[in-house]
Each structure stands twice: as C-alpha cells, then as structure tokens.
Amino acid sequence: QVQLVESGGGLVQAGGSLRLSCAASGRTDYTLSRYSMGWFRQAPGKEREFVATIVGSGLTTYVIDSVKGRFTISRDNAKNTMYLQMNSLKPEDTAIYYCAFPTYSDYAGTLMLATHDYKYWGQGTQVTVST
C-alpha cells in the first residue's frame, strides 16, 4: 500500500503561480526511485486528465501540450516527494489535481501516461485560477 498526500493548491489570479507537492509513504519494500509518478487533473463535469509524469530516476519527464512551457514536474527521492510547478496559470487550469503512483516499476523507458497505469491515488488538491 502506498499513501499519497497532495498539498499546495489554492486560489490564484490568471498569470500567477502555484507549486503542488505530493508526499509518498507506505510499504518499505517499494523503492520509490524505481517508480514513475504522475499528476492528473479533473475539472468540473470533465473526465480525469493526465497532466505530467516523471520516471523514478527523475531524468525523464513528460507534460501534455496544453501545459508545456508553463508546468514543470520534478521529484526529490530523498524526501519521497514529487512536485508540480505551475506558472502562467490560466482559468482553464482550474481543476482538482491528483498525484498517482503506478502499478508497476519503471521498465524499458516506458512513460506512464494513462489512468490505468496507476494504482494509488491521492485525495486531490483544488486549484482555482480566477480571471
């Protein structure tokens, strides 16, 4: 079992910034540095959407086109924490943001981009961007 706790959400004006954190804890037989982690978001009335992922080593990341150049995903394995730095926020970024931990450890450089790749989810943190 892996527990994930997000923090850092809030209300910000368009153009502003927020940094989300996701603290992971749980089974000691999980070597977290072997596992990717991901960020998803869900806006009202919409399906959950993949936003970004980072491999266990932190050396490879991927973000969706709509946030490219504005959002940066990173992690600190010594602190078992993943981050999402969000700059130049837009009203359409308004959503509940979730961090996720996958079912399987990293292999062959595969990026985990889909909801079904992930087994554990945090409770979410609300991000609201006003005009």
pLDDT the model gives residue 79: 93
Mean pLDDT of the residues in the chain: 94
45-70 burial string, b = 16+ CB within 10 Å, else e?
eeebebbbbbbbebeebbbeeebeee
- pLDDT at residue 1, rounded to an integer: 85
> How high is the pLDDT of residue 30?
64
The rounded distance, in Å, linking the Cα atoms of 48 and 117 is: 13
What percentage of the chain exceeds 70 in pLDDT?
Answer: 97
Quote the tokens at residue 94.
């308004």
Q: 78-126: per-residue pLDDT in tens?
A: 999 999 999 999 999 999 999 999 988 888 778 999 999 999 999 999 9
In this predicted structure, what is the pLDDT of residue 87? 98
Per the CB < 8 A criterion, the answer to whether 2 and 35 are in contact is no
pLDDT in tens, 30-49: 688 899 999 999 999 999 99
